[in-house]
Amino acid sequence: RYSDFVVHEIGKDGQISHLDDLSVPVDEEDPSEDVFTVLTAEETAEEKQRLEELQLFKNKETSVAIEVIEDTKEKRTVIHQAIKSLFPGLETKTEDREGKKYIVAYHAAGKKALANPRKHSWPKSRGSYCHFVLYKENKDTMDAINVLSKYLRVKPNIFSYMGTKDKRAITVQEIAVLKITAQRLAHLNKCLMNFKLGNFSYQKNPLKLGELQGNHFTVVLRNITGTDDQVQQAMNSLKEIGFINYYGMQRFGTTAVPTYQVGRAILQNSWTEVMDLILKPRSGAEKGYLVKCREEWAKTKDPAAALRKLPVKRCVEGQLLRGLSKYGMKNIVSAFGIIPRNNRLMYIHSYQSYVWNNMVSKRIEEYGLKPVPGDLVLKGATATYIDEEDVNNYSIHDVVMPLPGFDVIYPKHKISKAYREMLTADNLDIDNMRHKIRDYSLSGAYRKIIIRPQNVSWEVVAYDDPKIPLFNTDVDNLEGKPPPVFASEGKYRALKMDFSLPPSTYATMAIREVLKMDTSIKNQTQLNTTWLR
């Protein structure tokens, strides 16, 4: 169950992120709380629709007038504030028409106002970024941000974060957003399922990818059959020896076309193939409209026609099609460039990960779990070779292997040749990893081949109902739910484990090691359905 896999980000100060405070920092400059309720009454649904269309330049009218029913100065002030804070870019004024008061909304400064809404109203003294803790269930970080940006009517690129977290999980992480008040963010708690926002603060800086110290995991493995002894043995091994630091299955996507194939095509500069891999019809379960969109594309190769089959245009397919209809089929590079940068880089990083996983398997198969001459270790950020004479000064936990790129060195043993052969087989030149498009140049990096998790603890618990949660989440605690009490005997046994891992190390791979079992999402989801029948 996705709720049996919980991730808490560990920030750059080493603190574990928790959602434990839903209060909004009070700020003289904020509009009053009524702002959010004044426009939510039933009769204004149609007015809100008109305001939204006006804000996005969708309707022919240049202004929208709202009649003020019980007219008081206070009530008018609240409506003015509500329109301005809920529909950035609109200005309002009061007019008398035939003895009735109307509030008229219009665009402040033509189209420019939309690109840069209400920057002028942000107090100098307040940090430009609102940082908050995002609790999400069964959504990946990029999807979550797309949803938030849709509800706030802003572009997704004003959000920043330190790392993307698993989709099939409950995760808690820090997010920063440029010039959106905590008040507007907290308001989303009323309208969004699967999300909770809290722990708001204003700060000077955004967040950067990779700034986190790691993640803390709480994982429950249900319906285990091993003896207590076997559990102890497996968990002790995880704690003392660790696991091979493979990139997890989720790194390669969950669809019929693995992301590393798209990455490989980008690196080869085969743009038609990039386009085909993303858009061509594929086997496997997909939403009906995506299937229709792909069929349309295969039949007509007309981006606009395929786009019309998509109700939601924020998916990669929709973004690429929009790019193709904007730039034409002769310019796939620019069309692909419409996809947000993080998503584009994900493809090529996925290819690097695919190479690394293959190479580390070869390395361990060839030389086992001990350092050998020619292996690489890090001194600071620089990689150096292990010599014959100092091989005893190192353990397998010191050994790193490179992700292919123009700025790394390769081991001085058989595995070096294996790297070269693997890239050659993919029509890539290991000595020239610079791409003529700078974004797609790979500098490479080093990654430890074995990881020992920190703060490892575990317990075996008994339970009777396969559907009951076996621990509290942050949201349960906020709602004051008592933690579950376990019977000493039960129909089933579960192993509950806690551990911390460094950034971009996959808990699924640690678990795979403990279980000696397949951790791809397909297999996990099937397990779930099989034994609940």
Contacts for 238-242 with beta carbons within 8 Å, 24 or more apart?
238/453, 238/456, 238/499, 238/510, 238/513, 238/514, 239/452, 239/453, 239/456, 240/452, 241/369, 241/450, 241/452, 242/397, 242/450, 242/451, 242/452, 242/453
Contacts of 486 (CB under 8 A, 6+ apart): 461, 462, 463
Longest dimension (CA), the chain: 96
Exactly one of 4, 13, 71, 166 is catalytic; which is it? 166
Please check whether residue 89 is in contact with residue 107, taking contact to mean a CB–CB distance below 8 angstroms: yes
* Angle at the Cα of 83 from the Cα atoms of 78 and 85, rounded to 5 degrees: 90
Alpha helices in 313-410 (DSSP H): 316-327, 332-336, 341-367
Please check whether residue 372 is in contact with residue 391, taking contact to mean a CB–CB distance below 8 angstroms: yes
Distance CA 119, CA 109 (A): 13
Question: Cα 407 to the chain's mean position, in Å?
Answer: 27
Which amino acid is located at 473 in the chain? T
**Nearest alpha carbon to residue 447 among 507, 487, 401, 404:** 401
Phi, psi angles (nearest 5°) of residue 126: -95, 135
The secondary structure of 176-204 as a DSSP string is EEET--HHHHHHHHHH-SSEEEEEEEEES
Tally of CA atoms within 13 A in the half-sphere of 523 that contains its CB: 8
Confirm whether 166 is a catalytic residue.
yes
Active site residues: 166
